[in-house]
Amino acid sequence: MSIPKIAVEEHFIPPELIDSYEKFYPAPKWPALRNALLDTHGQLLATMDASGVEMTLLSLSSPGIQGIPARQQAIEMARRLNDFLAEQVAKRPDRFQGFAALPLQDPDAAAKELVRCVHELGFKGAMINGFSQIDKEDSMVYYDLPQYRPFWATAESLDVPCYMHPRYPVEEPRNIEGHPWLRGAAWSFGVEAATHALRLITCGLFDQYPKLTIILGHLGEMLPSAIWRLDHRVKVFKRGFPAKRTPLDCFRNNFYVSTSGNFCTHLLLDAILTLGVDRVLFAADYPFEDMAEGAAWFDQLDVISETDRIKIARTNAERLFKLGRPVKEPTLSPA
């Protein structure tokens, strides 16, 4: 049976950025992707209707703001793109909500922009497209570093989630050189995002901010299958492990996962067994994955109860994103 769904990882690109994305996609695929990423109120809305998706949370496609090394340019672009997204949401707030794009090249500016997006624009959290390039094209800066603690404090105080999305590394990892089929979503995206998540989990971030919430797509970027082993080995060989809480405890209590682009029943069951059904969300990863395929897979699931299907389809998202309820006033931490 089809349940009206809320899809939480569906992408757009505004006209002023669209041409900069062509380099990431094979030429035969790009024209159709380009049209889909631009046509939110036409093609995406029609696809939602055909797939039983009642509402979509829109987010800027990777690498987005994170791929702009110049700090001031990143700050200015984030504000313009968030205003653009707010305009799109305002046309159909019954069908669309938004995630903020943040200039994490400057943690203080990112915190202020998140507050603006949540309280002035009504956004439901942030989509963070992996590491940030800062000042130099070949830089890769991750958010476990100390300078990001005030940003995470702001996210926690707002009580809104941050969705951690993969992106291409600045340089291709040597271990996949000559194997282009391992690039991107097939493999390297998941490795990149999972490693970034583990840096956050193991650095003590969630000791300091125990109510901070992170979402991972693609049924958790392989972590539901890997987290027990990591947790076990850290207990055996600490190697200076700084966190007080265990990796498994942080993963179970501070993370959600979505089904985006991973329409695999046994991996869904793995995520449910690891995190609990209340921490799994529906998503497709439009337009890079087929929303109709993801919806059909989900609607035909017969291995979980109808109660659990309703949770994953919509009620977990309604609770997490406070759909229809106000968000908390922020507490901005000093830098």
d(CA 168, CA 187): 11
d(CA 65, CA 62): 8
What pLDDT is recorded for position 335? 44
What pLDDT is recorded for position 186? 82
Question: What is the bridge-based pairing of β-strands 214-216 and 96-98?
Answer: unpaired
Is the C-alpha dihedral spanning 142, 145, 150, 154 positive or negative?
A: positive
d(CA 103, CA 91): 25
Task: Supply the pTM of this predicted model.
Answer: 0.94
Q: Which two tokens stand for residue 134?
A: 């800062």
Marked catalytic residue, from 135, 285, 299, 308: 285
pLDDT tens-place string over residues 244-278: 999 999 999 999 999 999 999 999 999 999 999 99
pLDDT tens-place string over residues 52-80: 999 999 999 999 999 999 999 999 999 99
Active-site residue flag, 285: yes
Which residues in the chain land under pLDDT 50? 335
Strands (E), 277-332: 280-281
Determine how many CB atoms are found less than 10 A away from the CB of residue 86.
16
- The one-letter code for the residue type at 91 is K
Spell out the domain ranges in the chain.
5-320
What pLDDT is recorded for position 331? 57
Looking up tokens 């992408």 gives: 11
CATH 3.20.20.140 fits 5-320, yes or no: yes
